[in-house]
Structure 1
């Protein structure tokens, strides 16, 4: 099998007559979601469970087996067996890469250098750390069953000799405005996956680029539109549509799939954000009454930012004096808002959980 040669961008072979019925609903659903997002005073704090969820689901597509609550429990100091810790660390790195890239985009557009920085963070001290983190590949790679030869591969990415040329063309495409922003996002994501510039981590970097690119193009007020829930649920179709590009140049089929994913996910995200906002308003009233303190909103924001935590970390992150913060936590436990996952023992602090936030963010009973 010969290395894949990427299409020249912008594409000239998209069937817009076929896509038009998908483009309108996808853009409308995303706009409704963004409108809701822009009404959130501090989305990075209030909606942090959605970021955690994206990190878990995008990593799950690549085979990790850890849940949102396990990641938060690990960060709160609970212990897990070594294989689980490896999965959790990959998820933590994904979240760090997203945060770093979001900050980068406050001042500059997406660049190849940013991709390398994200990749270095993603593979830091985890499986794949021997796959040249932060560097584009210099060797020919291929995709297929474990142990297969290049002749048996299902896909052979572009030759490393032309890799930088393809990446530069891709970077230039991000800087222009194509016919439609969501169509351009679909093309940019797929082209990145087909170029496959890294030895490992291409799928996760490619999915991270979706909200980042929409944010760069101002289709989103903040980079918090996460598509991995849909892509993980339709994993076979996701990979099948990408493969149909390399085998049959079916870009229109891929873009239609992507637009359907955006429409479905935007609606699901909107419902989830509304549920979280409703909980915030409920808790604001309840915690204000329970604490009768000027610190009530600080307490609430700290819980939303990290719904599983050590009591000592709560004191540090909230900035509320210890002699005031710890009684607050006892009050919230007595009211059934917080639940203990580990009781205090000697110098070891208690680990507490804000269950209802996790349950609403996940749309199911988690804890």
Structure 2
């Protein structure tokens, strides 16, 4: 019998593209997951403070979502429905209206674009340009809005932009909150460009912003900065788009991350955890008077992911009929902040709710921390323009014991790499 050496290339290495990423950082083969843990094919557990890049706010295979999904599939419920009317879609729309929109007084229509975050952003850009008749959209330094060409044009990361292979046009970047170190009044540069006919900035159709820049390094915008931005958009006749793809669905505490600032954006994009179960789904929300779409003007073959409607409805019914999850998330935020502050790293920890960043002086140290954390059984990733920030995204349903365990492992990893 011929023995195959451990160095024999795997099917992932011989068949799958070199574009693969996370599997390189976490070199094991995962087999199953439940709650806040994944298990590899050898049965080794890993505490998950990555949560599907924010797609699993309610954990893996949450029973409150899995049971309705299994019942739906077992009854031969519609799986693929494009934008046809289905009972699953009706239940989701009714629940989203009563559990999310009406309690917050939000005047939004709901659009189902293709089931990815970047497609929701593309839909928002199309609509803003259609409504205003203008082309330019303003985004911010260190922003991340997706990998298709329109959303990539709004993204700040040079490495990701380089992958486009074509010019990325019709966008202008402005300084995000704190980008200039507080030495310049908020929006001074932006206002000056808008009022100066010689600035070269065409009147923007819209401004798009993340209230917390996750991929950009967990950069948190102050509530007063967001209110100032909303006021600027009103005064200058620009639509305000909030990209809530990673920070929405409770990640910062409230269902929408902009609620703390008391603003009402014109357009909002949601994806990742809106399905609640990791199933592909996205929404583009906008004020009723902006609904100028012609039938089929923006579409997608998989915009009617009915199993995702089922789990999304279950998530809303389970977690968003009252403020229990919100309050628990905010309490745990204080626990995380205190634990990270004790680590004595180069910069103070920053975050909101259950998204936190720990900044190091360079990407090598941050990567070493993540590698050591993996060896110790914890999944965390890096973010930031130089991958210098270790980012924490535990499930919102993480238990107190699991949160303490994960923070303890992270502390060990930081000390090991010092």
What TM-score results when the alignment is normalised by the length of structure 1?
0.27
Give 1 or 2: higher strand fraction. Answer: 2
Give 1 or 2: higher helix fraction. Answer: 1
What TM-score results when the alignment is normalised by the length of structure 2?
0.24
